[in-house]
Amino acid sequence: MRTSLSALRKKLANGRKLSMLTCYDAGFARVLDEAGIDTLLIGDSLGMVVQGRDSTLPVTIQDIAYHTACVVRGAANAFVLADMPFGSYQESPAQALHNAVILMQAGAQMVKLEGGAEIAPSIELLTRSGIPVCGHIGLMPSHVHALGGFRVQGKETADADRIVADAQAVEAAGAAMLVIEAVPDAVARRVCNDTTLMTIGIGASAACDGQVLVLHDMLGLTHSPAKFVKNYMVDVSGGGDAVLQAARRYAQEVESGVFPGAEHVYGLTSGSVAGLYGSSATPGTATPGAAT
């Protein structure tokens, strides 16, 4: 039977953390499902890892709906959530509802929106309409051009305070889950402590209730991955089922709290912060002087 939101809460209550991976097609969905990955995210990262674009901005609601239907057909057990892409919800709560319905009808069990207090009215309308919502704060990839690159967020106290306040606004609006991306460990811990949402980290903290990675990153297919990426293909043995083994290992390490280690989060270890795109982490723009 397909995993429900309450089944995820029950797993957490039993002291086990939640594993999430992005997934975009039925073939991988079947293997990740067999590996015991709790939740599959049809991320707008598909614009980059599937479509080969240099940001997530061109991804459309139709793109996400198509890939959601593919994933749902491949996975019988995993909880499935889908990203609402750039421009599909910012206009109004009515626009958000219209487009969330498209993803739910494609088979998603939850939709994910980047943003904080400014999208609270939309989160409210979705949840009142019976659509479970996952928020997404910290580094919001759809804001890449405003941010000047894929940069760690919340290093200044005022920014950290705003991120915590945004998380609380998202919770008050009715969201059930929250992705926290690329913030210092201490900021992610504040969000986890100051909300009751199920928190899912990526470059955030081992204190989160779960972790997410982009599938292509954990399979070692990304040229110059971010610091928070762990390549789970490194340790597989030659049984002919390498992806299944890698995904199983990831699920076990997340569940037990082994991943992420200090080397996969920001602000706990010193060292290189070379970006995914070398010295320039902004699509189409030179960005010297990346943050540390």
Regarding 44 and contact with Mg ion (CB under 5 A), the answer is: yes
Kindly write out the interface string for residues 82-121 of this chain, putting x where it contacts Mg ion by CB under 5 A and - elsewhere.
-x--------------------------------------
Q: Give the DSSP letter of residue 20.
A: E
Rounded Cα gap, residues 136 and 134, in angstroms: 7
**Do 119 and 113 form a contact (C-beta atoms < 8 A)?**
yes
Interface contacts to ligand KIV, rule CB under 6 A: 22, 41, 43-45, 83, 179, 181, 202, 212, 214
Catalytic residue among 171, 181, 253, 255: 181
- Quote the strand ranges of the chain, DSSP E: 18-22, 39-42, 79-83, 110-114, 133-138, 177-181, 198-202, 210-213
List the single partner that 109 binds among ligand KIV, Mg ion, ligand MHF, none, CB under 5 to 8 Å by kind: none
Residues present in the chain in total: 292
List the single partner that 61 binds among ligand KIV, ligand MHF, Mg ion, none, CB under 5 to 8 Å by kind: none
Torsion of CA 204, 206, 212, 216, to 10 degrees: 90
Reply yes or no on whether 181 is catalytic. yes
The whole-angstrom distance between residue 25's C-alpha and the CA centroid of its chain comes to: 17
Establish whether 112 is an annotated binding residue. Answer: yes
Q: Which is nearer to Mg ion, 83 or 253 (CB)?
A: 83
Interface contacts to ligand MHF, rule CB under 6 A: 45, 48-49, 56, 139, 141, 150-152, 182, 214, 216-217, 222, 226-227, 273-276, 281, 290-291
Helix (H, G, I), strand (E, B) or coil at 139: coil
Rounded Cα gap, residues 45 and 56, in angstroms: 6
Residue pointed to by tokens 């900021």? 187
Establish whether 10 is an annotated binding residue. Answer: no
Q: Which is nearer to ligand KIV, 212 or 290 (CB)?
A: 212
What's the angle, vertex CA 25, arms to CA 23 and CA 27, rounded to 5?
105
Q: Which is nearer to ligand KIV, 45 or 245 (CB)?
A: 45
Q: Which is nearer to Mg ion, 45 or 282 (CB)?
A: 45
Tell me the binding residues for 3-methyl-2-oxobutanoate.
44-45, 83, 112
Q: Which residues bind Mg ion (CB under 5 A)?
A: 43-44, 83
Give the residue numbers annotated as catalytic, written as ranges: 181
